[in-house]
Amino acid sequence: MSLRPATSAPPAVGVDVGGTRVKAGLVEATGEVVARVHRLTPGRTVAAAEVEELIAEVVLDLLGQVAVAERGAIPVGVGAAGFVDAAQGRVVFAPHLSWRDEPLRENLARRLGRPVLVDNDAHAAAWAEHRYGAGVGESHLVMLTLGTGIGGAILTEGRLQRGRHGLAGEFGHQQLVPDGLRCECGNRGCWEQYASGRAIARLAREVVAAGGDHASALVRTLDGGEPGALTGEHVTRAAREGDRASREILAEVGRHLGVGLAGVAASLDPGTVVIGGGVSLAGDLLLDPARETLARTLVGRGHRPVPPVRAAQLGEVAGMVGAADLARHAAAGPSA
């Protein structure tokens, strides 16, 4: 497909509908975010129409910052946390929202009076990393977004692979441990129970509950709060400050990440793996153990290249940047 040069390509609006926040940005064709707004994501009990109203609001807010003459040409893309049938623009199921087989594209297009692209948030983030970040130049990319759970996306020959119904990339629900930890998907032992923000928080609570010197830095981090309040961010901060227990937690989660990555790499043979999402801020404290486990367990090791595991580069704007760019591409012609 041909892209207009960055200087003449219009900006696009990208919206990232996550479990916690709706984040939106006006994104230039260079990937630069020139304006941002965000709102708290309404809970599961709020009607689908109200969430759509809120999305329309943030989009109109951003469109209002563009010169009237340009406004009509600005594409809108939405990346949503959930099962999204991108071809139909429908959200099949969103665990954090009341959307159930919701025709989001149609509803937003009506509200906004312009075409809207709807895709999965992890797909949008992977596309952003491929276009502007850690995946530039990689034709065969797997991206995992590590947040509360594990999101994922597959790019082959530079194109997003969405699967038969648009639901591909849900790597987090492969069984890693039979009869293991209960997952909110209803199964036990899913990978995301062992290699996500939730896993880090659980291990941190266990360290605090065990007490002793080993727990002291994490207890200090809590500053009198309940262990239930511990998050991946607390652990990453303590680990960066040298806390041994916190480093061990990140290493344990990193090893579980590596075990699952070995399965993903055996199945898909990616050229590069990119790890994004909030948990990836732990950086090499998490990724080095993952790389080591991947290299040690990938089938055929010694006879094949082991894909590099890179930290994502775009941080929390990846979703909006990717959604905006996918919308820009869709508006320009054949989809990515």
Nearer to a copy of itself, 321 or 336 (CB): 336
Chain position carrying tokens 């360290």: 207
Question: CA angle at residue 126 from 125 to 127, to 5 degrees?
Answer: 90
Nearer to a copy of itself, 84 or 116 (CB): 84
The structure tokens listed for 84 are 């999204």
Q: What are the C-alpha distances in Å from 298 to residues 139, 239, 245, 261, 289? A: 21, 28, 28, 8, 14
Give the 3-state DSSP-derived string for 13-80, with helices as H, strands as E and coil as C.
EEEEECCCEEEEEEECCCCCEEEEEEEECCCCCCCHHHHHHHHHHHHHHHHCCCCHHHHCCCCEEEEE
Q: If DSSP codes are grouped into helix, strand and coil, which group holds residue 206? A: helix
Nearer to a copy of itself, 71 or 100 (CB): 100
Least distance in angstroms from the C-beta of 147 to a copy of itself: 16
CA atoms of 61 and 37, how far apart (whole Å):
8
Least distance in angstroms from the C-beta of 98 to a copy of itself: 13
CA atoms of 48 and 31, how far apart (whole Å):
30
Which residues make up the interface to a copy of itself (CB under 8 A)?
Answer: 83, 92-93, 100-101, 139-140, 152, 154, 156, 161-178, 185-187, 190, 259-260, 262-264, 266-271, 297, 299-301, 303-305, 307
Nearer to a copy of itself, 176 or 208 (CB): 176
Least distance in angstroms from the C-beta of 317 to a copy of itself: 26
Nearer to a copy of itself, 132 or 171 (CB): 171
Nearer to a copy of itself, 42 or 95 (CB): 95
Question: CA angle at residue 94 from 89 to 87, to 5 degrees?
Answer: 15
Least distance in angstroms from the C-beta of 149 to a copy of itself: 10
Least distance in angstroms from the C-beta of 112 to a copy of itself: 26
Nearer to a copy of itself, 95 or 315 (CB): 95
Least distance in angstroms from the C-beta of 214 to a copy of itself: 24
E strand spans, the chain = 12-17, 21-27, 33-40, 76-80, 83-85, 90-93, 100-102, 116-120, 141-146, 150-156, 159-160, 272-276, 309-311
Least distance in angstroms from the C-beta of 100 to a copy of itself: 7
CB-based contact 191:256 (threshold 8 Å): yes
Give the residues across from 91 on adjacent strands.
Answer: 84, 102
